[in-house]
């Protein structure tokens, strides 16, 4: 694990990539990307000298870190919590698709600075299709949460033309703010908000339920919603991948609902980032990334 102090004497003869976050020690991104780069180098000599690092950078230091990493010659960066929203206003340019999200998780080096992208939405949509066989397009979606992760998921659902989007959040003020930000993106797609404690009569059955809250990171966390009181969903996707079985997913299992955690989302957002940096299609690198994570997350 590296810090900004390491950039004072930084020398690397190859193409450097990195993930930046705080904390970052737990990140699986270096394993995932370096495994993919090793496999890619076998058929693409251009990637033989590429390597992926990790930097622990507190939020207060991000504005200083981004120019330093650019000056050090880093080709691309991934950003994780809490930097995705902070970096949105600190980069030279933002990809059009990332603008409604208000957050970036992937940066590409340009001569004038960093260009920001957001691959989380692609990762979500691809993971839901891969693990649950469901397409966000034309499907009703029930989204749990109103934070940054929820906003990214909501924008992806709306951009892919979901049939309707229902957002549940306990804090009414945050929910109202998110709905207001999403209405220009939604257009004619029905967009509604509700409290998970008060299930509305119009909530559709057969919805894709997506958890974008942090509820489930700890074993004693209550589920963000009681699945038993919802009209029977088509499936449940939890963006959390550690632990692999959250209380929400355990409830889905007990109800006999198809369910999946966020590990595949981690893979596909990473593969899309590597596509932005290298031009290699995400579908080509995702399998090696998935294999690396499957080995790393197997119980001892």
Residue that is written with structure tokens 């995400």 in the block: 282
Residue that is written with structure tokens 């057969």 in the block: 206
Q: How far apart are CA 300 and CA 290, in angstroms?
A: 18
Say which of 54, 84, 151, 272 is annotated catalytic. Answer: 84
Count the Cβ atoms, other than its own, within 10 Å of residue 23.
11
Residue that is written with structure tokens 């404690």 in the block: 197
Q: Is there a catalytic annotation at residue 84?
A: yes
Maximum alpha-carbon separation in the chain: 62
DSSP string computed for 10-70 = ---SSEEEEEEESS-TT--HHHHHHHHHHHHHTT-GGGTTEEEEEEE--GGGHHHHHHHHH
Rounded to an integer, what is the distance from CA 269 to the centroid of its chain? 6
Catalytic residue list: 84
């Amino acid at each position: 694990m590296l810090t900004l102090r390491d950039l004072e004497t930084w020398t690397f003869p190859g193409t450097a990539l990195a993930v930046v976050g705080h904390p970052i020690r737990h990140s699986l991104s270096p394993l995932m990307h370096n495994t993919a780069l090793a496999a890619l180098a076998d058929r693409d000599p251009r990637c033989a000298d590429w390597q992926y690092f990790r930097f622990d950078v507190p939020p207060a230091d991000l504005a200083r870190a981004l120019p330093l990493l650019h000056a050090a010659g880093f080709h691309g960066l991934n950003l994780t919590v809490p930097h995705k929203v902070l970096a949105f206003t600190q980069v030279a340019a933002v990809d059009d698709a990332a603008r409604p999200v208000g957050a970036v998780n992937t940066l590409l080096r340009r001569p004038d600075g960093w260009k920001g992208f957001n691959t989380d939405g692609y990762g979500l949509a691809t993971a839901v299709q891969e693990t649950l066989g469901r397409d966000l397009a034309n499907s009703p979606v029930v989204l749990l949460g109103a934070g940054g992760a929820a906003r990214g998921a909501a924008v992806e659902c709306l951009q892919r033309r979901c049939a309707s989007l229902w957002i549940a959040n306990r804090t009414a003020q945050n929910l109202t703010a998110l709905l207001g930000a999403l209405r220009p993106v939604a257009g004619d797609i029905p967009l509604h908000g509700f409290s998970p404690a008060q299930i509305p009569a119009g909530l559709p059955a057969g919805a894709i339920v997506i958890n974008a809250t942090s509820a489930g990171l700890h074993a004693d966390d209550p589920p963000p919603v009681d699945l038993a009181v919802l009209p029977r969903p088509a499936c449940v996707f939890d963006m959390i991948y550690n632990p692999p079985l959250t209380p929400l997913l355990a409830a889905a299992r007990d109800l006999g609902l198809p369910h999946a955690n966020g590990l595949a989302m981690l893979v596909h957002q990473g593969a899309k980032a590597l596509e932005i940096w290298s031009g290699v299609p995400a579908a080509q690198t995702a399998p090696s990334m998935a294999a690396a994570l499957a080995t790393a997350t197997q119980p001892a």
